[in-house]
Chains A and B, each alone.
Chain A
Amino acid sequence: MSERALLLTHDGLATLVEELAAAGTPAVAPAWAGDAGRAAGASAAARETEYRTVSGAAELAFGERLPRLSLKQFFLPPTEVLFSWRRVGGGVELIPPPTDFAAQVVLGARPCDAAALPIVDKVMNWDYADELWNARRAATTVFSLACGVEDDSCFCSAVFLEPAAARGSDGRLTPVDGGYLVETFSDKGEAFVAAHRESFTDLPAGAGGEVLAVQAESFRATARERVAGNLAVDHGRLRDWLDHHFDDPFWAGLGPRCNGCGVCASVCPTCHCFDIVDEPESVGRGVRRRNWDTCQTCVFTLHASGHNPRQDQNARFRQRVEHKFLVYPLKFGDVLCTGCGRCSRACPTGQDLAEILADIDARAAIDAGAGAVGDEGAADEAAS
């Protein structure tokens, strides 16, 4: 989009954050999570940063650990009101929630978090256009920060992305000497830069500018190479295998380790399921809310009759894998995973998605080689 890249110096970034705070525009960015009350007891090293609204550059944790929760909380909050109700006379009045969200900007999103947004857009606009999701999306400008790759659990390059993927971003920052090279990919991104032009500087003319451009490309290339070794799968044969192995003993090897806690879904940028609850607020009035939910809990599919179609954790864990790598791709043409690796890092019992995908891909390769066809009819069941 941008014809000419700009530079955002460290000072420029600090000015920008302060300016946004002063103007009352929420700037969401990866920030240090720790404070004295918690630091001593926080056991997981991965708990060190979080996305939150920042007011000063000192809070920023750019290029540090992956924030413990993804960006999705700013588009699908852990709890939100769908409508309020109150008794009026003999009837009930429904009060819709406000959807005129104020503009906000995300600075330094992980590309794997930004890419999740257009993927989830699809389900949020499938049979029903979700006003709350769409309104927050429309109000938000996302600048990602080219990623240097977290660790061996990252596998964005195995799900059609890369550490500096532009998907879902209105603009991108790439670390270079003295600050960040800035590119824009959308009108929103352009407009944001134009509105805050004084915080950005022109790239030095001539050789100086070229050096920075080369640095940025080198940073991205190094990250691409680093992540490529973590995982590579053939999604076509992986889907085929999943489609034909609904009852494979493979799943019984994964369920026992799983606590059924759904931490994987909480930290996932693409998991979007929610529960709907009614809560009285007082006599004659109340609210309907939606809250994050996960297919990993035993009550997720529990019917009122007592029957549970996913009776054990083997079936529930299979659901997680099949929804992401079979059902969503077939329905929406996108894998429901951006390879951020949060599920593997956060799992209290060491379930590892990259390991599982590699395992399935290896089985799929053997099947493909043998020309084998598995149990017919599994696809219908898996898609239900």
Chain B
Amino acid sequence: MSELQDTARRLLDEGLVQVVIGWEEGPRGARPVFVTSAADCERLIFDARCVHNLATFLNPRRSQITALGKAAVVVKGCDAKAVAGLLREAQLERAGIVLIGVRCGGVAGEPATLAPPALSAETVSARCWGCDVREPESVDMLVGEAQPEPPVTADLDERVAALDALSPAERFAFWTKELSRCTQCYACRQACPLCCCERCIVEKTEPQWIETSPHPRGNFAWHLTRAQHLAGRCVGCGECERACPVGIPLGLINRKLQQVVYELYGYTVSEDPAVPAPIGAYATDDTQDFIE
């Protein structure tokens, strides 16, 4: 902890950045914090409750944050992957940010506990299974002690497999029921580090591509579009599902997308922004022949 705080203090003291984006202890557990003075660096924490994907706050459209000045952001592995996504898509300049990497032993499903929970198969976030970036490499500095492997929970994959085993009609019934609760509030979009469009397609009205009414037609159109736009880009951080006020299991869609993108293109989301995502790459050996 003190290593993280000292690093942040030095960056602010030396004027290398004007704000450090990290986590603090809030009234209901860990939450994002924007530290602009060295004296406030003692507020910074990192533990298993620090689930928020802080790359979300690097969206260049968030002018209330860019107004604070050059930012250093504390990143665990999944945050670093999302930062790489923003760099890959030219939303950020690498020289414009400082990345403070933290060694991560997995995070909990929820940040809202007064003390960090002991991680177990029950409490660990679904995102942590199979994590390949527990010590991010794309960062400017790496802090914290080496961490143990997170507990194994293949829950998400088992649930995707269970859905895959259903007939199309049964699967449609499952999603019809789940999406019936959607109010199209777009909290899933706002929580997503990669949903950073200047104007989301759902907000375009001339023409209106997607019906914004939360009836089955509108809800399916929204969620199908959201999924399509995140294929090969989603880092699997699960923030969309956590943000959803009505508990729609969006993680199932995201994990399925990851599986499909891997099967078709052999691609898993990389922490290296130089590795192109399938959506932005051309290959002569593409499995789909229409591209030849």
Please list the residues of chain A having a beta carbon within 8 angstroms of any beta carbon in chain B.
33, 37-38, 40-45, 47, 68-69, 78-79, 152-153, 252, 255-257, 259-263, 265-267, 275, 277, 279, 289, 291-292, 294, 297-299, 311-314, 344-346, 348-352, 354-355
Contact = CB atoms under 8 A, between A and B. Distances in A.
B110 A257 contact: no
A45 B213 contact: no
Interface size classification for chain B: 35 or more
B166 to A, nearest CB: 11
A348 B239 contact: yes
Nearest to A344: B28
Majority DSSP secondary structure for residues of A touching B: loop
A266 B211 contact: no
A256 B34 contact: yes
Contacts of B177: 37
Contact of A348 (B52, B57, B213): B52
B11 interface: no
Contact of A277 (B29, B185, B212): B212
B208 to A, nearest CB: 8
B187 interface: yes
A263 B243 contact: yes
Pairs A-B, 4 closest by C-beta atoms: A350-B31, A261-B190, A261-B187, A348-B243
Given A41-B159, A43-B109, A257-B31, 5 more contacts: A256-B34, A291-B184, A292-B214, A350-B28, A350-B112
Contacts of A289: 213
B241 interface: yes
B186 A261 contact: yes
B186 A348 contact: no
Interface of B: 26-34, 52, 56-57, 61-65, 67-68, 109-112, 125-126, 155-156, 159, 174, 177-178, 183-187, 189-191, 203, 208, 211-215, 218, 238-239, 241-243, 245-247, 249, 251-252
Contacts of B156: 41
Nearest to A297: B186
A311 B63 contact: yes
Contact of A266 (B31, B203, B212, B245): B245
Contact of B31 (A292, A313, A349): A349
A52 B97 CA distance: 47
Contact of A259 (B56, B159, B238): B56
Given A261-B187, A263-B185, A350 B111 contact: yes
Contacts of B64: 252, 255-256, 312-314
A264 to B, nearest CB: 9
Given A261-B186, A266-B185, A312-B67, A37 B178 contact: yes
A379 to B, nearest CB: 24
A216 to B, nearest CB: 31
Nearest to A252: B64
Contacts of B31: 257, 349-351
Contacts of A260: 190
Contacts of A263: 185, 187, 243, 245
